[in-house]
Chains A and B, each alone.
Chain A
Amino acid sequence: MKAKAIKSWSWIHKWSSLVCTAFMLLLCVTGLPLIFHHEIGHLLGTEVEAPPMTGEADRQRVSLDEVIRNAHALHPDRVVQFVSPDEDDDRVWFVTLTPTPAPTDDFKSVAVDARNGQVLAQPKFDEGFMWVMFKLHVDLFAGLPGKLFLGLMGLLLLVAIVSGVVLYSPFMRKLEFGTVRRERRTRLKWLDLHNLLGIVTLVWAFVVGATGMINTWADLLIKYWQYDQLSHILQPYQGQPLVPAAERASVQKSLDVALATAPHTKPSFIAFPGTAFSSPHHNTVFLRGNEPLTSKLLHPVLVDAKTNAVTASPALPWYLTALLVSQPLHFGDYGGMPMQIIWAVLDIATIIVLGSGLYLWLKRGDPTHVHAPKEARAGPSPGAVPPLGEPGLAGHAARSRAEAGQASSLGTSA
């Protein structure tokens, strides 16, 4: 690679990393407990669990309308936005209640026993340690602008990863894979560790970074979906107001007719009229498949909230499919506990890559290379280590100091 190209890539790598490093460190640190949020919730006793029952009592189900009624009775001043079965246990329904149908952080969640309609708990998802970790990780407590900002930082991370891979070649072309030169200066050791861990975690970090960035666009993608696909489906309803609660038909019936349209599916969640995932006139039932992969994909069925007639069941557009597939790839929650542990180890490795990168930049002004003695350029003395500790570039240094100075711009230029 030409020294000029190395200089350009070094500049890209330096600035893309420097700008995003602080936020990436925050995301790695807050993401670590989130990998285990189910297990932590279980330990803290905040996970809702259905009490054991036997025989017929365990198998029977009350109407979803009764479930919703009982939850609503606890918060009569609020509206129901969503109901969803527990992902792993269909004996538990979660009912989400908010002041209005608009998206908000001010929500109450009520867990109801699907077998007898009794309220099991009112889990507080919006407080405590895990909530703080979650909000810092998702939007820095700043809503959509915070999300999009973190998405931009994610994009910079991807740029840093790509430019880092490009620079791997000039740095490593004369070293065996995995070389860590510990005998020399500390900076050289950390450079080698940075390169080693960077290349080892490369694909994982890129996938988690890219899927994280895609997740920050979720709100916008759903808004676009409403504009792109729902608007023409809703043409006949134009001019009609939000269906008043008193005029709404049975939600259980909405679920039944939706399930009848698609065999081998189960409900993921039901969005009520006027909420972000529905229209002002529909209960939108999101179904998911029974297979490992299809269980991650959703299939919306728009059911008229007054008549319970199915208005449409539009296929999910590619951009929402991409969003849904990118979620497990970001969360690491789709391969059991060993995968979660691997996710945590790779997360820590990424923290080391970020930290060592920052260290290498902070130590860029190391005087041993700025005025390297002449003989050092060709000799084996410690002072001969080039600015980046990169042996391939030392050859360049012997030929042309200016060229080596360019190539070292990652570490030296301010």
Chain B
Amino acid sequence: MIAPALAVALLFAGPASAQSQASRGETLTFDRGKGNCLTCHAIEGGDSPGNVGPALADMKKRFPDRKELAAIIFDETARNPLTVMPPFGRNLILTRQEIEAVIDFLYTR
């Protein structure tokens, strides 16, 4: 009797943890000491955004490949040496796990 309950619990474990990543990602995105993304980007749900960078909207449509977004956040200078975007991964501002959480959140925008 326990096994089916366990199976059901495991079934909901996947989506449940994905939900919490987006929520964690939102916290990281708006945290001035971590992602601090609002300083340069307009993001739905955030107040007083900057406009140095493009608005972060339609993210899942514009960046269907997670790896591309991860590379941009990790170190955009690899793609554009003149960028103003800090290398969040290379300079140890966000861990790879935190970057994944941020992407989970951005995919809801």
Binding between chains A and B:
no
Which residues of B pack against A, CB within 8 Å?
Answer: none
